[in-house]
Structure 1
Amino acid sequence: MQQPTQTPHRTPLRRVSQGSLFRLSRSNAYPDAPHGLGFLEPAMSEFLDETETLHANLDGMRRLSDSLTTFNESFASWLYIMNMNALTTDWGQAPTEASFALAKRRAERDAVAAMEALQSRNAAKAREIQIANSVADKTTVTDSDMTFAGNTTTAAGTSTQKSGIPAKKKGVKPKLSAKEKKQRSAEIEKIVACLPLEFRGSDPTLRKHMETVIEGVMYAPDAVKLLDLVSAPDLNQARVNKCLVTLVNRKVVQKDSSTGTVLYHWKGIP
């Protein structure tokens, strides 16, 4: 018994490959299609146009590649020439070791000139302060001499009237020299520098009062009371108390109330 022949497996094909070209040309979808192979002419014409377009694009890509190749070669040649020129040409304006040494000497000379100018300004300022202190000392000594002379004349007249013997003149209290005043100012400045900011310049009046209080306590023979430092109307009792409290907190001044009277003793910077 003969077995039926098995149909070989076939891959499904697109419609253009499933039937003959004649059936495709006569299909109901294209009733006006040309007879036979005539419908291939417009398709081949379109295919030819697309092929020419592809060829033109490929030709443009080739020209672009040639242009890039030419540019790369030219640019590489220029870089090579610049490198060789840098290696073989002497640049007259390029810095050398002597240039760096000259620049260093100029910087040192400028620093020395700036330091000398600063020292000159400081010396001029110190001379001005010294001249001002000398003028103030002369004025103070003159006033003291005049006052002492008047007091001596009055006392002498009174003594002569009472006993007929002239009274002896009292010696004038010695004044500090400019150097001693400068040392005292430096010492007070060192103490003020350790105090809170409000006493170091934010309030010039408060700083002046603090310096007065420090000078009064520092150069007192033994101890000083709060009222001894009051100088109306500027340096009142409240301001003196504020300055003394600050100095006690900083341990520059020691407060002593063991005798029943509040006394302040100078200790100095710890």
Structure 2
Amino acid sequence: MSRPHPTSRPTTPLRPTTPLRRSNSRARPAGVGALPLDALAPAFAELNSSLIDLDANFQYVEMVQDSLARFSESFAAFLYGLEVNAWCVDFEEAPTADSFARFAEQERLAREAAQAGAEQTE
């Protein structure tokens, strides 16, 4: 059974058109005094704006990656601590029900021996 996909996903917001972009986006007629690269200026302005947005998005992704790395290291240390604890706590000489029964029997025999010794001294 597959998990349902989230209804909304984060997306890069659309940038509003600024007056600078609108003025640069109009095609200028190639005339006297116009440089050949002037026609590419609006495209380079848009590229510059897009690269700034991309850089900001990558910085956000880097922050998320750093947070995940810190969590991963902390969680790995926690799991290692659980494993070490399991090795320290689990020991073969742990008392069983038979051990407690033998101890109770030894206590009972010791009391009977002490009572028998007390009766002989009287």
- TM-score of the pair, normalised by structure 1: 0.21
- TM-score of the pair, normalised by structure 2: 0.43
Higher helix share: 2
If asked which structure has higher relative contact order (CA below 8 Å, sep 6+), I would say: 2
